[in-house]
Structure 1
């Protein structure tokens, strides 16, 4: 069972939440079936609130619920943004990053206005950073110039270990806990906690 079941049936969310090897960390997995959800729910009322409604049954049992979104503004992301109170926006240090970020900010404003007034941007995290390239340095500089203190100080590096970890079904902090990638994500977590999350 996966997140797909929550979108397409009235099953209990507890049926699709699984414990992990990390104490107090649970997972509600996605699946390849999610690619058809938008079409399957095309004519359904309230389709943008399915995830929020499902999570409301368990949210008091968790300190944090993190929702990982695809890099698009389709129905799955709309559901996540309807359910969220804060958004952490990852931005790759690549050529079109700022254009995509500007479009996302506009979309978040529309969602806040029409669907979820509680939605706020917690911050922007720069990823795939390579300090050896002028492009990475330029994206960091421009993003910080445009968004100021909304941009986290931690830069997530382009790192082979980060790329490998998902194929082993492990977070970077378990797969390669001494790697630059694990260190960067640990620093980001500390920054988030310092924000009062």
Structure 2
């Protein structure tokens, strides 16, 4: 069954979409079966995957509204992963979801029939807490939080952690922080190093060892409709996301081993 991960931060411009696209491509490059879901009405993750958001026949909007199934909405990309895209239609979903039953669980229910087809499902979100983001969090096992190492980012992450705790208590008891990802990292800046140190002190091993550097190729790739791995596979940004994919896979495999050991111990105690 797929591990479903939401990539979110209520602060804009921290690399959410860049991370979703490039992590999806990097996981796919390691032969993992990956589905990326674009839940941002801007559709940047869709365009960054080489898919014209204006031409898609079925998007995440139709999936949330129950007009199409998730399987009917999957698009095969040339980036190695599957996609359920998004466009401006999704803006209406924020209002229309209010009128629907189980409005917080529409995405979760839609994904149930296809979860076994993938190893990872990654969800890109808008930079706000609305019903789209709540749907993503309710469907996910973990949250990856991309953030810049700057002062205001620390304030924003405390608010996001509070939101995750509320969702955990009220809607999704399985939800937890999967990891904190330091993006646009510049080790030459003393503030960057200070904030990074504070993050590690507070979140411990939740902070990924991999850091994503400031990289021109990462910024250029979306305009070509490509992940950085396909645009320039030798760039520092591409290599960093490959390293992140490896770290995520190792963590996931360790979790699975720990879970099996716990189950074995429980059976032996009975």
TM-score range, shorter chain: over 0.9
Matches within 5 A, 1:100-119: 100-119=156-175
Paired with 1:117 and 1:13, the residues of 2 have a C-alpha distance of 24
Q: Deviations over 1:3-52 (max 9, x none)?
A: 111122431212210111144x2111111222221112223221111111
Equivalent of 1:160, from 213, 216, 219?
A: 216
Stretches of structure 2 that go unaligned for 5 or more consecutive residues are 1-57, 254-270
Matches within 5 A, 1:52-71: 52-71=108-127
Matches within 5 A, 1:29-68: 29-68=85-124
Equivalent of 1:86, from 132, 135, 142?
A: 142
- Give the TM-score taking structure 2 as reference length: 0.69
User: Structure 1 residue 150 and structure 2 residue 206: aligned?
Assistant: yes
The DSSP-based 3-state class of the residue aligned with 2:155 is helix
Paired with 1:173 and 1:50, the residues of 2 have a C-alpha distance of 32
1:90 to partner: Cα distance: 1.0
Residue 15 of structure 1 is matched in structure 2 by 72
Higher relative contact order (CA 8 A, sep 6+): 2
Residue 97 of structure 1 is matched in structure 2 by 153
Q: Is the 8 A contact 2:143 2:177 kept in 1?
A: yes
Q: Give the total of aligned pairs.
A: 196
Q: Is the 8 A contact 2:79 2:227 kept in 1?
A: no
- Give the TM-score taking structure 1 as reference length: 0.94
Runs of 4+ in 1 over 4 A off after TM superposition: none
Q: Deviations over 1:149-175 (max 9, x none)?
A: 110111111112111212221111111
Of residues 75-84 and 34-43 in structure 1, the stretch that sits farther from structure 2 once superposed is 34-43
The DSSP-based 3-state class of the residue aligned with 2:144 is strand
C-alpha change, 1:135 and 1:35, in structure 2 (3 Å) is farther
Residue 131 of structure 1 is matched in structure 2 by 187
